[in-house]
Amino acid sequence: MRIGILGTGNVARAVATGLSRAGHDVVLGSRTPDERKDLDHTVVGLAEAASHGDLLVNATPGAGSVPLLHRIGADALAGKVLLDIAIGFREDWTLDHPVASLGELIQEEFPRTHVVKSLCTMDSTAMTAPEALEGASNVFLSGEGPAAKAAVGRLLVDLGWPESSHLDLGGIRTARGQEHYALLFIAIATSTGDFGFNIKVVRPRT
Ligand SMILES: NC(=O)c1ccc[n+]([C@@H]2O[C@H](COP(=O)([O-])OP(=O)(O)OC[C@H]3O[C@@H](n4cnc5c(N)ncnc54)[C@H](OP(=O)(O)O)[C@@H]3O)[C@@H](O)[C@H]2O)c1
């Protein structure tokens, strides 16, 4: 599949490595592609990355994602699935979208794009290496369209997340749960000194 990843940071590069390894045709989209030629991946401009991808990944800072997507343009994003990994999380441990979510905001601003929130509940090191974790854990999905969620689900499998690890939370409104979990994630990481963990939903014994 042709995939355009918006951003060239930790998440973008980790996901690009994982998806390339699985055989996908991946490019990274940068604001300044000429300054990012040192990376192991093909780096192009944002508009070119958007047109390359049948599926797009948002791996940009959450506070700047909506303006950046507007810069690409609603027409260029129309009809595409957008896997949104971004969170508006500030250095002072507060959220940019404390009573909603970036995922919902993107879906509202770009109604012709199919936004699916996933992978944002873990560190970039775990996103593409679930097998390196001690035991099975969960990855969550939030979004409106079953086809879009299925497409993202297939990518998750390609990244090493078996279907049994996927937990579909429902519509894009549930993205706020995934994003707001960042507050607990950072508290656990700071308390344990380890960012590479993930969580598993454990049900009551029957
Ligand atoms: N790091 C993690 O483990 C992790 C985990 C869960 C969720 N997230 C979320 O995933 C997103 C990406 O995280 P990251 O750690 O990869 O961030 P990062 O290393 O800072 O990379 C973000 C990339 O986005 C691009 N960008 C576009 N607009 C930007 C702007 N206004 N300011 C700065 N960079 C901008 C930059 O690429 P160009 O300069 O080439 O344009 C930059 O390399 C964030 O929303 C973060 O909250 C991260």
DSSP codes, 64-104: HHHHHHHHH-HHHHTT-EEEE----B-TTS-BSSTTS-HHH
Mean pLDDT of 61-71: 98
Q: Is 128 in the pocket of ligand 1 (CB under 6 A)?
A: no
pLDDT at 76: 98
Spatial distance between the Cα atoms of 129 and 84, rounded to a whole number of angstroms: 19
**Percent of the chain residues past pLDDT 70, beyond the cut:** 100
Domains annotated for the chain, with CATH where assigned, are 2-192 (3.40.50.720)
Q: Ligand 1: distance of its center to the CA of 89 in Å?
A: 11
Spatial distance between the Cα atoms of 64 and 53, rounded to a whole number of angstroms: 21
pLDDT at 50: 98
pLDDT at 141: 98
Q: Ligand 1: distance of its center to the CA of 205 in Å?
A: 40
pTM over 0.85: yes
Q: Whose CA is nearest to atom 17 of ligand 1?
A: 9
Q: Whose CA is nearest to atom 13 of ligand 1?
A: 11
Spatial distance between the Cα atoms of 179 and 15, rounded to a whole number of angstroms: 18
pLDDT at 87: 98
Q: How does residue 202 score in pLDDT terms, banded at 50, 70 and 90? A: very high
Q: Whose CA is nearest to atom 9 of ligand 1?
A: 86
Which of 5, 6, 8, 11 to mutate to test ligand 1, by most ligand atoms within 8 A of the CB atom?
A: 11
Encoded amino acid at 4, one letter:
G
Spatial distance between the Cα atoms of 182 and 191, rounded to a whole number of angstroms: 14
Q: Ligand 1: distance of its center to the CA of 119 in Å?
A: 14
Average pLDDT over the chain, rounded to whole? Answer: 97
pLDDT at 25: 98
Mean pLDDT of 72-83: 98
Q: Whose CA is nearest to atom 10 of ligand 1?
A: 86
Q: Is 124 in the pocket of ligand 1 (CB under 6 A)?
A: yes
Mean pLDDT of 149-160: 98
pLDDT at 65: 98
Q: How does residue 175 score in pLDDT terms, banded at 50, 70 and 90? A: very high
Give the residue carrying structure tokens 């507050």.
Answer: 183
**Percent of the chain residues past pLDDT 90, beyond the cut:** 99
